[in-house]
Amino acid sequence: MPRNKTLRILVAKPGLDGHDRGAKVVARALRDAGFEVVYTGLHQTPKMIVNAAIDEDVDAVSLSVLSGAHMYLFPEVIKLLRDQGASDIKVFGGGIIPDEDIKELEKQGVAKIFTPGATLESITTWVHENITSTKG
Amino acid sequence: MSKDVRDAFHRWEQEVLAPALSKKPEREQEFSTISNHPIERLYTPADVEGLDYQRDLGMPGEYPYTRGIHPTMYRGKLWTMRQFAGFGTAKDSNKRYHYLLSQGQTGLSVAFHMPTIMGYDSDHDRSRGEVGKTGVSIDTLDDMETLFQGIPLDKVTTSMTINAPATILFSMYLAVAKKQGVSWDHVGGTTQNDILKEYIAQKSWIYPPKPSMRLITDMMAFASQHVPRWNTISISGYHIREAGSTAVQELAFTLADGIGYVQAGIEAGMDVDEFAPRLSFFFNAHNDFFEEIAKYRAARRIWARTMKERFGAKNPKSMMCRFHTQTAGCSLTAQQPYNNIVRTSIQALAAVLGGTQSLHTNSLDETLALPTEEAVTIALRTQQIIAQESGVAATIDPFGGSYFVEKLTSEMEEKALRYIQQIEDMGGIIEAIEKGFPQKEIGNAAYLYQKQLESNEKIIVGINEYVETDEQPIPTMQLDPEVERIQIENVRRVKAKRDMAQVQKTLQTLEQAARGKDNVMPYIIDAVQSYASLGEICDVFREVFGEYHDPKWL
């Protein structure tokens, strides 16, 4: 069976916040850049996101957090992926996240955090260069 | 006269303009607003030929209120300077409110944290990581009492940015007033309570649209009888704009929401003049100076005409589009953040020249974190400088009669009316929302704008032009990491010491009211006074009304 090389990305909005402008704009840009994009919709718990990532067989998860809850939500998604034996699914994301928190999140396994002002091009380029297929 | 003007314009184009252009072309082929609305080189009396002063502008304080809703505007009373604030526990926010009032702020505006907005207590599993982050954590009446400690509710008006659980926070506020010995007819303020724009833009909903509308009409009916100075809904374009809409979309979808509430009130059996005087609006102030001013003027004209001609309102107050304005959070940059002071000043000036009744100016550091006290003070001072130093508050609607501003006002009105008609053709705003119409229009505008930034078609200083590479970070506010633990202890303590039998009794009668047709407000007030928590009351409604889930469009 030939493998489908198109990378699949789950774009997710974890937590209670509903501001989805960033998530949706990034999702559209990733789709226009040739990735397969699955969007979770709003108000997702880390568990819902990890289940969706596994069910949808994605190569990476992109989280958008603007509510200040990033220090709980990002690590929780990473932990649950690890618990499910799915730590080959990379986690990246963006939002209103201070520099010192970015350093800490990267230490905890977040592949990349984009902050306000990041261009869509910088995001799609990063995904091209850093996300590889999880399917062997 | 206008033929003379047209002749003169034509002559000028040929004799003066053409040679100038051939020597030096203009900077752009076409000019447009930030929302891509085309802007001409020059506006003359010929552009406002169709405008009838009495019919389309009128005097301030007179129909159709294009020039302002008050006969004296800021000569009589300045706008209310109302900074949106809230973080951490009720105790933390109470301290900030006392500070803001001591600095000359004239009204309060409460920001709630996400769990309160979404109807969960701080000790709920879904609240983890979110407690006190984007606003103040309010779980029970006990928190609300702390929040307004030392603040007399008959002297200060309060705006509360709360939507799905608005009836509950309003009930808590009334309960605090009662404890302070303030009678409800002396209580003034606003609940945002605009659920329609939540489905469209901000997306903090709990229940489906129809039962949500019932909660709103119950509150309108209750307040019109018992709390006559309360603005029951603040119909909000702010979040629509922040979600990426154009100025015209903000105008159109906000007024379409307003029409939806008026219809719902009438269908619930109220007379339009019974509740419409207490409807107020909330707009964004974005970067494009004249487009914003025209937007506010168009909003007043459209609303006045809609209320009078379509809904048959008789009370002039029902026809007045009173509004709060907040400068555009989405326009601020994390890069070179001090530039945000300048952006906010320009936006605030537009809001004032557009005739706003109250104003929030954003702080320079809000793309990084919650604002520091210093940043908030600069934001407040910005308003005070506009009010006291700039001279713009000395006369009414200073741009009235400007060929450009009048033309732009009329154009925005026409474009907005076209959208409103499209929504009517779908069956109204709820049907349009169910079809995803406003949501998709906004999503498309947001994506287009981002692409225009990336192709440098639109410029943001510090983002795609005048970029600095080695910026020094600025100090930001650090929240106490213990807030979540402290607030969970607070709510557990309150829950442990209440009379559980009383709590259960009030929740049960509330459930019966929700299932029937009674106005739910008195039952909610009983429940909050028994220290039933916000989450418990929302659970009653979740059980009766069900929960809303978003369609997963991109």
How confident is the model over A31-46, as pLDDT tens digits? Answer: 999 999 999 999 999 9
Using a CB–CB cutoff of 8 Å, tell me whether B114 touches chain A.
Answer: yes
Question: B201: which 2 tokens?
Answer: 């833009």
Q: Amino acid letter at B92?
A: D
Q: How far is A1 from chain B, CA to nearest CA, in Å? A: 31
Strand partners, B421: none
Instruction: Please report the pLDDT score of residue B3 as a whole number.
Output: 87
Residue of chain A minimizing CA distance to B116 = A16
pLDDT tier at A136 (50, 70, 90 boundaries)? low
Which DSSP string do the residues of B345-391 spell out, in sequence order?
HHHHHHHHHTT-SEEE---TTTTTSSPPHHHHHHHHHHHHHHHHTS-
Residues of B within 8 A of A70 (CB-CB) are 129
Which DSSP string do the residues of B431-442 spell out, in sequence order?
HHHHHTHHHHHH
Instruction: Please report the pLDDT score of residue B2 as a whole number.
Output: 76
Instruction: Please report the pLDDT score of residue B546 as a whole number.
Output: 98
- CA B318/CA B24 separation, integer angstroms: 52
pTM given for the model:
0.95
pLDDT 10s digits, A115-128: 999 999 999 999 99
- Tally of CB atoms within 10 A around B476: 17
Determine which of A17, A47, A48, A119 to mutate to test the interface with B (most B C-beta atoms within 10 Å). Answer: A17
- CA B425/CA B482 separation, integer angstroms: 52
- CA B324/CA A106 separation, integer angstroms: 41
Give the closest of A24, A29, A73 to B443, CB-based. Answer: A24
Determine which of A11, A31, A43 to mutate to test the interface with B (most B C-beta atoms within 10 Å). Answer: A43
Crossing angle of helices B437-454 and A120-130, in 10° steps, is: 80
Contact A117 B463 (CB under 8 A): yes
Q: How far is A88 from chain B, CA to nearest CA, in Å? A: 25
Instruction: Please report the pLDDT score of residue B148 as a whole number.
Output: 98
Instruction: Please report the pLDDT score of residue B1 as a whole number.
Output: 60
Question: Is residue B201 a contact partner of residue B242, using CB atoms and an 8 Å limit?
Answer: yes
CB proximity list for B511: less than 8 A, separation 6 or greater: B540, B543, B544
Instruction: Please report the pLDDT score of residue B83 as a whole number.
Output: 87
The pLDDT averaged over each successive group of 10 residues in chain B (554 residues) is: 89 98 96 98 96 98 98 97 92 94 89 98 97 96 98 95 98 98 97 97 95 97 96 97 98 98 96 96 98 98 98 98 97 97 98 97 94 95 98 98 98 98 97 95 97 96 95 89 96 98 98 98 98 98 95 73
Instruction: Please report the pLDDT score of residue A3 as a whole number.
Output: 44
**Residue carrying structure tokens 């930034």:** B453
Residues of B within 8 A of A28 (CB-CB) are 443, 447, 554
Give the closest of B129, B334, B451 to A116, CB-based. Answer: B334
Q: How many residues make up chain A in this entry?
A: 136
SS (H, E, C) B475-497: CCCCCCCCHHHHHHHHHHHHHHH
Q: How far is B257 from chain A, CA to nearest CA, in Å? A: 19
Contact B202 A18 (CB under 8 A): yes
3-state secondary structure of B161: strand
Q: Identify the helix (H) or strand (E) that includes residue B72.
A: none
